[in-house]
Amino acid sequence: MVKPGDVLEAPQLGIRIEVLQTGAETGGELLEIEVVGRPRGFLRQAHVHERQTERHEVLEGAMRLVIAGRDRVLRPGEAEVVPAGAPHRQLPQGDGPGRVRIELRPAGRTDAFFERLSELSAAGAINRWGYPRPLAAAALIADFGDEGHAARPPLAVQQRLAGGLMSAASREYAFVDEWDVAAPRDAVFDALADARTYPAWWRPVYLDVEADGPAEIGKVSRQHFKGRLPYHLRTRSQIVTLERPRVVTADVDGDLRGRGTWTLTETDRGTHVRFDWRVFADRPLLRVLTPVLRPLFGWNHNWAIARARDGLEPFARAHAVSGPVPTAAR
């Protein structure tokens, strides 16, 4: 968290920020900073603070301030206030670095915004022209757009574009599947909790599962499976929740990393099954192809779940009638 006396460096943006007062010290009323240097890149673009007034006082050098199309050049000792909601630009004038004291009321989260700029600069996420790289820019819009944003296009458009970019670039997959199984809940739970049974009923998805004994908290199993797409996956799962006959959760690593949870609810006709599957694609090829093939991966998941729907009910019904069915463990 930014504190008075902190200095935030952002050399790709041509500035450093010296923190004088923050919202934490002023009860949210005021953020006061001094900006030293010659701002460049996206800092020179027209932008809007929807709920904040912004006072600029030049201490050294000169600055051209454009507010809603009105120009004024400020020199040492001169100040101007930008009303909330007014599009404006700050442009350095003359030679050499300047020093400008800026007060924002209320403080909002603008100190966190400046801290983020410093972090992005240190991480190389701002290019040599002073513009954040696409994902960094999208995250800035998502996190801080409600307080300050580019004057054009409208904020809603910026947020939709940012959300779409972040979603496309994410390697995360989140699926929720639900269906009803005409079989007793205990039998359905036993089949889902013990991954060794999967090759017997979840065909042709699961090719092989290895585990040392039946399902228990902490138990580890190793899976080899495939979908309709031309690749095989290998994962390692560890049971972290086992509440018979309601819930079983496993953490997964390997070609996929994340967590899967089966939740079972008893119904008049049998069992309602819900599967929450949230994973990241860690296999190198999947990481590369995720932004392009995300819809295909969703189709592949749906195909695999359809095979589970086909196989789980007859397997659980047979298990309920005849007792434990031999597993495919090795």
Helix (H) or strand (E) holding 268: none
At residue 134, the pLDDT reads: 87
Q: Are strands 47-49 and 31-37 parallel, antiparallel or unpaired?
A: unpaired
Contact between 97 and 61 (Cβ < 8 Å): yes
Amino acid, single-letter form, for residue 280? F
DSSP 327: P
What lies within 8 Å, CB to CB, of 21 at 6+ separation is 4, 30, 31, 32
Element (H, E) at 6: none
> What SS3 state is found at 258?
strand
C-alpha–C-alpha distance, residues 327 and 79, integer Å: 78
Could you give the domains of the chain? 7-169 (2.60.120.10), 172-322 (3.30.530.20)
Strands (E), the chain: 7-10, 15-21, 31-37, 47-49, 53-60, 62-67, 70-74, 79-82, 88-93, 98-105, 148-150, 172-181, 206-211, 220-226, 232-243, 247-254, 256-267, 270-281
pTM of the prediction?
Answer: 0.59
3-state secondary structure of 230: coil
Q: What pLDDT is attached to residue 100?
A: 98
The pLDDT value given to residue 330: 40
Please give the structure tokens belonging to residue 119. 């972090």
Cβ neighbors of 140 (< 8 A, separation 6 or more) are 113, 116, 132
**How far from chain centre, in Å, is Cα 146?**
18
CA distance 238 to 233: 17
Give average pLDDT by consecutive 10-residue segment, the chain, 330 residues: 94 97 94 97 95 97 95 96 96 94 96 93 92 89 92 93 73 88 96 96 96 90 90 90 95 89 96 92 58 72 96 94 54
Contacts of 156 (CB under 8 A, 6+ apart): none
| Contact call for residues 285 and 265 (beta carbons, < 8 A) | no
